[in-house]
Amino acid sequence: MKIILFGATGMVGQGVLRECLLDPEVESVLTIGRSATGQQHEKLHEIVHKDFSDFSAITGSLSGYDACFFCLGVSSAGMTEQEYQRVTYDITMTAAQTLAKLSPDMTFLYVSGAGTDSSERGRVRWARVKGKTENALLRLPFKAAYMLRPAYIQPMHGIQSKTKLYRALYAVMAPLYPVWKALLPKYVTTTEQLGRAMIKIAKLGAPKHVLENQDINSIGNGRISSRPAGPQRSRRTDAGKDCGSTNKEP
């Protein structure tokens, strides 16, 4: 399986990249980022691209991939609605539309977040914008598209968040992770489980197109078998079947 990865320098993307490089079924990974990851691996190829509003300069390198793992994203804290929408919706859709044209046989996986608002009409800004992004992705003519909505993600294997505040938070939370996991298993996952689940879904599909935190864990742990969901026009119907998620931004 050949994979394109966006957001590989971030916390989620680093975790997903690690699992891809370890998995014998992943033949190669192409990262696209504003900077390189700094990692060296025989399976890893990197494109440093500065303008995420236009990928036309690199389209020649984007064909022939089986899946795209889209882990690029930001917290809306301190951002205007316009800026958050530019990063969350505009960049994601520009990349996805480019890939859908080049490789309609590709499976597209988007890391969204628990509490995402599929109605696009709720009061919580980040949840509305993520919902709009998910809905637009589900309408693109990919072989399949899956929206992953993790809640709290514990970084594993020394992976760090890019955000200073989050780094401090994760350092405090790390020793308590086994407690959260025991008390709130539906609301916690790890970079490892998320990465494993994404690889499995890219390979085998998943029972629905919008996957909540516990779905991610079940697939990542091999507790539910992956099987393709229904056709594209039915994708939006499983949006909003939430696991009691809140609108707290992940």
Q: Which positions touch ligand NAP (CB under 6 A)?
A: 7, 9-13, 33-35, 52, 71-74, 87, 91, 111, 113, 150, 152-153, 161-163, 250
Which of 43, 166 has the CB closer to ligand NAP?
A: 166
What minimum distance in Å lies between the beta carbon of 76 and ligand NAP?
Answer: 9
Strands 28-33 and 2-6, bridge-based pairing: parallel
Nearest by Cα to 109 from 55, 53, 71, 63 = 71
How many C-alpha atoms does 173 have within 13 Å on its Cβ side?
19
Which of 11, 100 has the CB closer to ligand NAP?
A: 11
Tokens of 8: 């590989």
What minimum distance in Å lies between the beta carbon of 52 and ligand NAP?
Answer: 4
What minimum distance in Å lies between the beta carbon of 38 and ligand NAP?
Answer: 11
Residue 81: other Cβ atoms inside 10 A: 12
Which of 25, 183 has the CB closer to ligand NAP?
A: 183
Which of 72, 100 has the CB closer to ligand NAP?
A: 72
Rg (CA), the chain: 17
Tokens of 10: 């971030």
Residue 228: other Cβ atoms inside 10 A: 14
Which of 47, 228 has the CB closer to ligand NAP?
A: 47
Tokens of 235: 């994708």
What minimum distance in Å lies between the beta carbon of 13 and ligand NAP?
Answer: 5
What minimum distance in Å lies between the beta carbon of 129 and ligand NAP?
Answer: 10
